[in-house]
Homo-oligomer: A and B are copies of this chain.
Amino acid sequence: MALPTYSTMKHHLLPAATYSRLVPRATYHDTATIDEPTIKPQNRSRSAVNIPASLSNLLHLNLNHHTNPTGTHAGSSNNAMLDVQNFNRQTPTYSPTEDISSMYSEIHGAADWSRLLSPLHPWLRREILKYGEFAQATYDAFDSNPFSQYGGSCMYGRHRLFEKLGLLRHGYDVTKYLYAMSHVDLPRWLERSLHAEAWSRDSNWMGYVAVSGDEESRRIGCRDIVVSWRGTVVPAEWLEDIQGKLESIESNDQSDIRVEHGFRSIYTSKAETTRYNKLSASEQVMGEIKRLVKFYQEKGEKVSITITGHSLGGALALLNAYEAASALPSVPVRVISFGAPRVGNEAFADRLKELGVKVLRMVVKQDVVPKMPGILFNEGMKMVEKVTGTLDWVYTHVGVELGLNVKTSPYLKNCIDFAGFHNLEIYLHLVDGYVSSKSGFRCEAKRDVALINKASGMLREEIGIPPCWHQPANRGLVCNPYGRWTMPNRELEDIPSPYREGYEQLLN
């Protein structure tokens, strides 16, 4: 029978005017162009077969005379063909990565990326996408099936996470999984398994720690320790629920530093009675970071820490960065976040600056989450501030913002979709096409546009990719030898184990 999502969908042909935006052009040419594959004639003709007629007509229609709304110029028929190639996805999805060690400190944000953001330097773009894919991995590997015995855990053991997700090419190894719980009742945060013998009743898989291998370390100029934090599924609504409950960052803290209590609860909660949170997420991640830093510094290596996350994950990244920079003053700490909400007050922001934490925030203009918490809340407080002259109770953003805009992408629907605007794959798509706030979507963009619809319906229908396509066959059910459909047991390798994960620190 038809899947509900399909039956509720309509195919609307767009007016010719809007089509004119479908041929992206860029005035800026980065090194990615050099490795553009030469398009063989037979490729051309073969690939021409499968593209939607409306689109190909358009492409040939608009070749020599049009300017798209972003102000970049219509290009040659070559560019048009290149675009057809993209729609047909007959090109590689990424360019070879250059040795960027010469620009190590700049790319790490030493100068707050001042010379690299406008236009966006291709080397930095690739690093942002790398960390964005580490963040996306926490969604792609998360078992959100409440009928699974392991619902709320990672579907794969940490030794094959990157292999399963096709991320081995980044040259990192996962060294630890992170689990979190919360003592504060946070609506729609925890994914619970309905299974009678659920792997855990209290905790969720919340991310992982990974470290760059020798080759990648050489390429980027340091041993890079990455922490990737998972976000939530319904952050916008969720963030409304936690509007403006600021509290001191540490119970015994005498400073003015305040952070959102829900984020802090997830980062710091623990309970002896649980299997995966006898240690808090904070204790788990700090234990592992310290272990790795010690290990590599003793080998005389240059070590850096990069903490990434999307949405709630971006908020946890900031709390984590604050703690890491405080505990390890000798190690540069950087946060690469996507669609992250505000976390703390002015004092929190100032302290992070003092600690030398570098923060690069990707923010989609149409995404409401980065405006949370405190859209309304802050307004009220600004009044108070005028009187009291203090900002203790107002949320503030930290670091450098890279502003993205869904309107620049010719691949995206012209629609209002708040979940879509916040989707991490949209962020990665827009970073991939970003050149500068002035110019349009670059046609050398490499990422597969089909990924946009992985968990959204933002991709234009002409491109022919179903919405929300990222799903297991038969919701993970398989037919057993008796001819009956059952939820299969996981391979031992992929079954979460408190002994492999939660207790490691206690054992060290």
A residues 67-110 touching B (CB-CB < 8 Å): 89-94
Contact A450 B485 (CB under 8 A): yes
Of the candidates B49, B144, B469, B486, which one forms a contact with A2 in the assembled complex, judged by CB atoms under 8 Å apart?
B144
CB under 8 Å from chain B, chain A span 474-489:
474-477, 480, 482-487
A331 contacts the other chain (CB 8 A): no
Residue A465 lies at the interface, judged by CB distance under 8 Å to chain B: yes
Q: With CB as the reference atom, state the residue of chain B lying closest to A144.
A: B2
Partner-binding segment picked from A127-135, A191-199, A358-366 = A191-199
A197→B54 CA distance, assembly (Å): 11
As a 0/1 sequence over residues 35 to 59 of chain A, the CB contacts with chain B under 8 angstroms (1 = contact) are 0000000000000011111110000
Does A301 make an interface contact (CB < 8 A)? Answer: no
- Indicate whether A123 reaches chain B with its CB closer than 8 angstroms: no
Say what secondary structure dominates the interface of chain A: loop
* List of B residues within 8 angstroms of A4 by Cβ: 468
The interface stretch among A5-13, A348-356, A427-435 is A5-13
| Complex alpha-carbon distance, A51 and B188, angstroms | 27
Q: Which of A178-192 contact B (CB under 8 A)?
A: 188, 191-192
Complex Cα gap A490–B300 (Å): 56
Interface size class of A (residues with CB under 8 A): 35 or more
Is residue A473 contacting chain B, with contact meaning CB distance below 8 A?
Answer: yes
**Cβ contact within 8 Å between B89 and A195:** no
Residues of chain B lying within 8 A (CB to CB) of residue A6: 144-146
User: Complex: how many Å from CA A1 to CA B468?
Assistant: 10
Q: Is residue A213 within 8 Å, beta carbon to beta carbon, of the partner chain? A: no
A3 contacts partner chain B, Cβ-Cβ < 8 Å: yes
Q: A6-B144, A139-B1, A471-B471 are in contact. Are A482 and B11 (CB under 8 A)?
A: no
Q: Do the beta carbons of A482 and B450 come within 8 Å of each other?
A: no
Q: Please report the C-alpha to C-alpha distance between residue A191 and residue B7 in the assembled complex, in whole angstroms.
A: 9
Interface residues of A in 148-207 (CB under 8 A from B): 166, 188, 191-192, 194-197
What is A's interface to B at a CB cutoff of 8 Å? 1-4, 6-7, 9, 11, 49-55, 89-94, 139, 142, 144-147, 166, 188, 191-192, 194-197, 233-234, 448, 450-451, 455, 461, 464-466, 468-477, 480, 482-487
What are 19 A-B contacts with C-beta separation under 8 Å? Answer: A1-B455, A3-B468, A6-B145, A7-B144, A11-B194, A51-B196, A52-B195, A53-B196, A54-B196, A89-B480, A89-B486, A92-B483, A147-B461, A147-B464, A450-B477, A450-B486, A451-B485, A466-B476, A471-B475
Top 8 nearest A-B pairs by Cβ distance?
A: A89-B484, A2-B144, A473-B473, A450-B485, A53-B196, A469-B475, A52-B196, A93-B483
